Copies of this chain bind each other. A is one copy, B any other.
Amino acid sequence: MIIRLDMQSDVPIYTQLMNQIIEGIASKQLAPGEYLPSVRSLASDIGVNLHTVNKAYTLLKQEGFIQIHRQKGVVVNPDGMPGITPDYQHKQEAQLRPVIAEAICRGMDKAELLRIVESFYDEITQEPKENA
């Protein structure tokens, strides 16, 4: 899978990394049970610090997206993804509301906004299953 990082963004690298991996799973480029690169190799591949990759992996593990086995490596959680918990719903609301509010301010009507969300949804789910 191709990882794209924007070193100039104000979004922390480890967050971008998490997002990319989550999008990889969502698009089925990464399947449950599939191995991810080791912390070391990924870090050297994308040219970031070990700690940064480690932090991303640790947080993904905490949220249940991946499992980290000492010595054996990192796999996409073979037991399936975490579900829609109340905690997640709150987090999602906190992320979504400001985006929606700004869209309203800027004069985007509901149909247009839904069209955009739908198109991203389709774009992600229809991404080609290429392996990197």
Could you list which residues of chain A lie within 8 angstroms of chain B, going by C-beta atoms? 7-12, 19, 22-23, 25-27, 62, 65, 67-70, 81-84, 88, 92-108, 110, 113-114, 116-118, 120-122, 124-125
List residues of chain B with CB within 8 A of the CB of A92.
Answer: 99, 102-103, 116
A10 to B91 CA separation, bound complex (whole angstroms): 12
The number of times this chain is found in the oligomer is: 4
Return chain B residues, CB-CB under 8 Å to A125: 104
In the complex, are the beta carbons of A107 and B93 less than 8 A apart?
A: no
Select from chain B the residue with minimum beta-carbon distance to A65: B105
Asked if A110 and B118 make an inter-chain contact with CB atoms under 8 angstroms apart, the answer reads yes
Asked whether, in the complex, the Cβ of A69 is within 8 Å of the Cβ of B101, the reply is: no
Instruction: Report the nearest B residue to A104, measured CB to CB.
Output: B26
Q: A113-B117, A120-B93 are in contact. Are A102 and B69 (CB under 8 A)?
A: no
